Amino acid sequence: MTDNPRIIGERSASQHGPLLIVLTQVHGNEPAGYLAIKEVFKRIDEEYNHKPYFDYRGKIVGLIGNLRASQDKVRYINTDLNRLWTDENVSRIKNSKKENLNVSEEKELQEILQTVNSYIENYEPKNVVILDLHTTTAQGGIFIIPSKEEKSRQLGLNIHAPILHGFLDDLQGTVLHHFNNKNYPNLNLTSLCFESGQHNSRESVDHAVSAIIQCFMAMGGFYPEDIETKHEQLLTQDSAKLPKEAQLIYSHRIAPGDEFKMRGDLIYANFDPVTKGELLAHDRHGEIHAKFDGLILMPLYQKQGNDGFFIIKDINRDAPKLHQKIPTTTLNAI
């Protein structure tokens, strides 16, 4: 599989264990995840050089999601790969001949599925996590979108970034809609999405490196004594002012030809507070105002994309920040 250009690399411990598949660049113009997994592989190799007895359990694989879009440095070629994973699409695409797939992203989906499934078949892990790494056009804030499974949320809590609920009810066909136990009933498999910051910032790469390490440790891969606390500290510190968990309350969907544009006199960052009635954007129908008080998320500052912005509500404002560790027995079961 080494001549498969979608595979960034893989590292295996001497002991069998959990399989972490780090999926990067499902949006082709988001290179931070790609750079982060390369950095993690480099650090694993350096550990072996510095500490002859360094080891862990399991396997980490790095994959490129939208290969063709990543080569062109665009979000997608024909359609958003992160809106294509509905049950109907997946079963149609899975059973199609590649030459009959005319949409570039349908070929990508088929190849990702074949690659992930062949890793699962060959390695035969009991526990699998798909960590889907993204960045945003807006500045500010790291966050996690978990699948609807509690074990996904638990992994997210261990990464130490705000956990945002409700997106899977609002969006259709994301990677997280497919990679869950419903579609892999014989495995303990889940997925989560980590948004690490702005598209091309160095910080986004650092956040993603820490998230990969924290995630694999929480799965029972890396041993906690081998992991520096700086990864947990970086993520905890950079999300200190953000809600611990929040709920999606509104999303502004863009229709083709809408000419959507965020207002130009004020640049919003992720998690900036907005108040009901506040002017946020314009389109061909006129002004677009906030319908609720809340925090703005992922305001769109690029041409490609179907979502103008989201508004979320802190559901844990008064609760103490939860930084406790999950007991190892639970971790190993994830």
Applying CB under 5 A, the residues found at the interface with Zn ion are 27, 30, 134
Q: How far apart are CA 56 and CA 41, in angstroms?
A: 13
Task: Tell me the closest approach of the beta carbon of residue 83 to Zn ion, in angstroms.
Answer: 11
Closest CA to 20 of 174, 106, 125: 125
Task: Tell me the closest approach of the beta carbon of residue 160 to Zn ion, in angstroms.
Answer: 21
Task: Rank residues 27 and 151 by Cβ distance to Zn ion and give the closer one.
Answer: 27
Closest CA to 297 of 148, 145, 172: 145
Task: Tell me the closest approach of the beta carbon of residue 161 to Zn ion, in angstroms.
Answer: 15
* Packed helices 32-50 and 202-218: angle between N→C axes, nearest 10 degrees: 60
- Establish how many alpha carbons lie within 13 A of residue 196's alpha carbon, considering only the half-sphere containing its beta carbon: 30
Task: Rank residues 10 and 30 by Cβ distance to Zn ion and give the closer one.
Answer: 30
Q: Name 8's bridge partners.
A: none
Closest CA to 145 of 272, 3, 312: 312
Task: Rank residues 57 and 177 by Cβ distance to Zn ion and give the closer one.
Answer: 177
Task: Tell me the closest approach of the beta carbon of residue 134 to Zn ion, in angstroms.
Answer: 3
CB 162 within 8 A of CB 245: yes
CB 15 within 8 A of CB 57: yes
Q: How far apart are CA 26 and CA 130, in angstroms?
A: 12
CB 129 within 8 A of CB 191: yes
Task: Rank residues 66 and 152 by Cβ distance to Zn ion and give the closer one.
Answer: 66
Task: Tell me the closest approach of the beta carbon of residue 70 to Zn ion, in angstroms.
Answer: 12
Task: Tell me the closest approach of the beta carbon of residue 269 to Zn ion, in angstroms.
Answer: 17
Task: Rank residues 20 and 145 by Cβ distance to Zn ion and give the closer one.
Answer: 145
Q: How far apart are CA 158 and CA 279, in angstroms?
A: 36
CB 307 within 8 A of CB 251: yes
How is 121-180 classified by DSSP, letter by letter? HHH--SEEEEEEEEEESS-S--EEEE-SSHHHHHHHHHHTS-EEESHHHHS-S-HHHHSS
**What is the DSSP code (8-state) at residue 289?**
E
Task: Rank residues 280 and 298 by Cβ distance to Zn ion and give the closer one.
Answer: 298
Taking every pair of Cα atoms in the chain, the longest distance, rounded to a whole number of angstroms, is: 65
Task: Rank residues 27 and 252 by Cβ distance to Zn ion and give the closer one.
Answer: 27
Task: Tell me the closest approach of the beta carbon of residue 317 to Zn ion, in angstroms.
Answer: 27
Which residues, 6 or more positions from 115, have their beta carbon under 8 angstroms from its beta carbon?
1, 4, 6, 7, 63
Task: Tell me the closest approach of the beta carbon of residue 186 to Zn ion, in angstroms.
Answer: 30
Task: Tell me the closest approach of the beta carbon of residue 27 to Zn ion, in angstroms.
Answer: 4
Task: Rank residues 154 and 204 by Cβ distance to Zn ion and give the closer one.
Answer: 204
Task: Rank residues 27 and 231 by Cβ distance to Zn ion and give the closer one.
Answer: 27
